[in-house]
Structure 1
Amino acid sequence: MHDIETKSADAQAAFAEFAQAFETYRQENDGRLAALETRGGVDVLVEEKLARIDAFLDEQKARSDRAALARQRPPLGGSGEEKRSDPLAVEHKAAFDLYVRTGESAGLKRLEEKALSAGSGPDGGYLAPPQVEREVIRRLSSLSPIRAISANRTISGGLYKVAHAISGAASGWVAETAARPQTDSPTLAELSFPAMELYAMPAATQTLLDDAIVDIDQWIADEVETAFAEQEGAAFVSGDGNAKPRGFLDYTAVADASWSWGNLGFVATGAAGAFPGSDPSDVIVDLIYALKSGYRQNATFVMNRKTQAVVRKFKDAQGHYLWQPPAGPGQAASLMGFPVVEAEDMPDIAAGADAIAFGDFKRGYLVVDRAGVRILRDPYSAKPYVLFYTTKRVGGGVQDFAAIKLLRFAA
């Protein structure tokens, strides 16, 4: 209980510092804009101070998010009632702990023989207990920005196929006694999402493994979460689909006026590598309304930290900032009322870059996880350390091309 209260206090303190820093940022930026209007120029020292506050805002937001995430993490062991209700899970966990700590695999072999599973053993490793897999995926949903806002499916094979209706069956109005003409059939597109192998290789000393008080499940989840999240984040944004998921920026993008299924539509800023010189926020409004209303109500902005720093300065006609800080620890900032997700793998603002994405990613992008996290113990390759070759299979790709729009920094 004391640990939970401490984590909650840390999250609140980090968020309070973030809110105070944003207030300072607003005051300094208002002063900068006033100087532009009166003197036609800005002091270099003011610009440097704004840049420092901007960096501090990003740092405090990240700290606040980490604290909020830590507060939400439950213990991996589960309740006593859960353990008593599933004796097989208890047996699996005990056998897995023995394998990780000592390399003894007889217990895991017996379990997999009972389950009639194939493809495991000394060459491929052994399946981690279900609670470890659930915790790894849950943490990835918190750390991997695109996974957190996308649709997720768990599959038992290596490929997930889905048919998407590009157009529904034709329909129309007719009089009560008029003939009913035959209507066209709906048009379907088959989409395939193969699951690719993602791996991490944490290392431990034998002393750590011999320490009975160390929670092995927790340690494994802690070690692989960041490595998996970084690889996923890059692949879901710009992966080429070759031994990795296909990112949404890898698909062909066309001007939104010429959009067709299989492509993503983009709105151009009208200036190469920049927002327009006058009324720069107008292109963001254009981007928002390029998306159909059915997608817009659940839409999210996706951009990296540098792009967000530029957008953070925009104001509306009444002088209100369009970018607003999160309302509480662990929540997202907003831009024009829509959540902003910071994904560092998005490109910087540059000529021809699609630096901002906006869409309903729950309908637009699909992440598939093949069930099972597999671990192979290797005490030989890096003595005196014991390596744990940890793999999971993940795929991803666009499933609805109408649900995501891009802002291209081009004329």
Structure 2
Amino acid sequence: MPLSTKETDMLKELQEKREKLVADARAALEEINKNTDDARAAELEKRHDDIMAEFDKIEAKIEREQRTAEAEQRLADQSAEERSRRRPVPGGSEGRGHDEDEELEYGDVFEKAIRFGAASLGAEERAVLLEGRADIPQEVRAQSTGTDSAGGYTVPEGFSGEIDKAMAAWGPMWDATIVREMTTSSGNPLPWPTVDDTAQTGELKAENAAATDDGSGDVAFGQKMLNAYVYSTKMVRIPMELLQDSAFDMEALLDDLFGERLGRLANSVLTTGDGANKPQGIVPAAGAGVTAASATALASDELIDLVHSVDPAYRSSPKCRWQFNDTTLAAIRKLKDGQGNYLWQMGDVRIGEPARLLAHPYSVNQAMANLGASARPIIFGDHNRFVVRKVRGFTVITLRERYAENFQIGMVGFKRFDSELLNAAAVKALTMAAA
């Protein structure tokens, strides 16, 4: 379902406003750098922070609009034939389509109106919708009796026609453009050999003398093991009444929600997992980079030291980046160098250039710790050395027989994965001082 003219105009207006905010923020930064009056500098810094706060709100709103449009498109692509086939009907049939000689059903007409709008209805369908069905009782069906929040809100009774799905950012650790992803067809243990020969060098050999052969030049190998831990979404039981009477495709909706559940779970485990019968998270596995002087605050020099604690060979990787949560980002955006320039550098949304910190891109990961005593709130390094092993795809199983006596089906999702940081020298962490 394409965006309406009104929605397109609104999205365009938001994008234009976002571009103007970027230009205004850049102008504010330039004025700050030229200014020498401390009082004026404080005023300009506040103006810059206010602009960026508004920019963040616009960014979030644009993302919501785009995700809503994508969700609407998916719903529109579900044909009436597919819906009829998937839901049971009396008599044991799997479902049926509408025949022109058959009487129009109120539920089918209502569904069409909800999905495609009243303008899509013919004269006969409009009449059925307006007249309604006197024999239909008030609907209060839900996953548990009398609990609207468990599904009852989706049953036709004159509601808005769409579901507002709560959102929460969960992070980058499942993103193959940020970490190194490996997908396998089976879940057998996968050994990954490693070698660190960086301490070795060659030697000057005298004429006619033999090369050193005392074992000091031998190569020492190591090994990382990638397993396949199973994670689930937890079981959701759905009454057949809800599947039959809901104006929404409940199974498709749960597929989406299950994917997000496991996405949030995976990001958390891949970030902070301790490796004990679970994946090894990138934060505990990262090498020791810098220890901050404070337990609650950052200094600009500490971030510079963290960058240089990682060998230049890793810093040159296309996947070398920072990670921290949004609260830490807010603190970082206020840091300046010795010349009064902000360490944080604004990107250019017009050409897809991301914001940077000390010339390197960053990812906001809400699973990272806040600034606090002994915490590791910031990591930096080559994320290509962090391997996420995935086994096949995300699996959703529908149990139709197990709960049949209750006139219900069960749905549950599964994903198998593991992770390892191949070399602790590739990614380093900033550790806050102890209390």
The one-letter amino acid of 1:247's match is G
TM-aligned CA deviation for residue 371 of structure 1: 1.6
The one-letter amino acid of 1:147's match is W
Of 395, 405, 426, 1:403 maps to 426
**Residue equivalent to 1:311:** 332
Determine whether 1:336 maps to 2:363. Answer: no
Q: 2 CA distance for matches of 1:394 and 1:57? A: 36
The one-letter amino acid of 2:210's match is A
Rg: which structure is higher?
2
Provide Cα deviations, 1:177-231, integer angstroms capped at 9, x if missing partner.
54333363321111112221122256767578669x9889965652223211111
Of 370, 381, 397, 1:348 maps to 370
User: How has the CA–CA distance of structure 1 residues 13 and 223 changed in structure 2, closer, same or farther, with 3 Å as cutoff?
Assistant: farther
**Residue equivalent to 2:102:** none
Shifted more, 319-328 versus 379-388: the winner is 379-388
Mapped contact 1:4–1:71 kept (Cα < 8 A) = no
**Residue equivalent to 2:180:** 151
Q: 1 CA distance for matches of 2:353 and 2:29? A: 25
Determine whether 1:286 maps to 2:305. Answer: yes
Provide Cα deviations, 1:224-274, integer angstroms capped at 9, x if missing partner.
2321111111111112234532212234xxxxxxxxxxx612202222221
TM-aligned CA deviation for residue 164 of structure 1: 0.7
Q: 1 CA distance for matches of 2:326 and 2:66? A: 20
Mapped contact 1:237–1:247 kept (Cα < 8 A) = yes
TM-aligned CA deviation for residue 305 of structure 1: 0.4
**Residue equivalent to 2:292:** 269
**Residue equivalent to 2:58:** 60
**Residue equivalent to 2:145:** none
**Residue equivalent to 2:38:** 37
Of 211, 217, 223, 1:180 maps to 211
Identity %: 23
Of 294, 300, 304, 2:321 maps to 300
How many residue pairs align between the two structures? 336
TM-aligned CA deviation for residue 357 of structure 1: 0.6
Unmatched runs of 5 consecutive residues or more in structure 2 = 75-81, 93-168
TM-aligned CA deviation for residue 407 of structure 1: 1.4
Mapped contact 1:158–1:370 kept (Cα < 8 A) = no
The one-letter amino acid of 1:199's match is S
The one-letter amino acid of 1:165's match is V
TM-aligned CA deviation for residue 406 of structure 1: 1.0
Q: 1 CA distance for matches of 2:423 and 2:370? A: 25
The one-letter amino acid of 1:393's match is R
TM-aligned CA deviation for residue 325 of structure 1: 3.1
Greater RCO (Cα-Cα under 8 Å, separation 6 or more): 1
TM-score normalized with structure 2 length: 0.61
Determine whether 1:375 maps to 2:396. Answer: yes
TM-aligned CA deviation for residue 317 of structure 1: 4.6
**Residue equivalent to 1:84:** none
The one-letter amino acid of 1:234's match is S
Q: 2 CA distance for matches of 1:321 and 1:14? A: 27
**Residue equivalent to 2:147:** none
Unmatched runs of 5 consecutive residues or more in structure 1 = 77-93, 105-141, 252-262
The one-letter amino acid of 1:154's match is T
Of 186, 190, 194, 2:227 maps to 194
Shifted more, 315-324 versus 8-17: the winner is 8-17
**Residue equivalent to 2:383:** 361
Mapped contact 2:171–2:367 kept (Cα < 8 A) = no
CA RMSD of aligned residues (A): 4.7
User: How has the CA–CA distance of structure 1 residues 3 and 404 changed in structure 2, closer, same or farther, with 3 Å as cutoff?
Assistant: same
Shifted more, 401-410 versus 15-24: the winner is 15-24
Q: 2 CA distance for matches of 1:51 and 1:203? A: 47
Mapped contact 2:291–2:430 kept (Cα < 8 A) = yes
Local SS of the residue matching 1:181 = coil
Q: 2 CA distance for matches of 1:318 and 1:158? A: 55
The one-letter amino acid of 2:366's match is E
Mapped contact 1:170–1:185 kept (Cα < 8 A) = no
TM-score normalized with structure 1 length: 0.65
Determine whether 1:236 maps to 2:270. Answer: yes
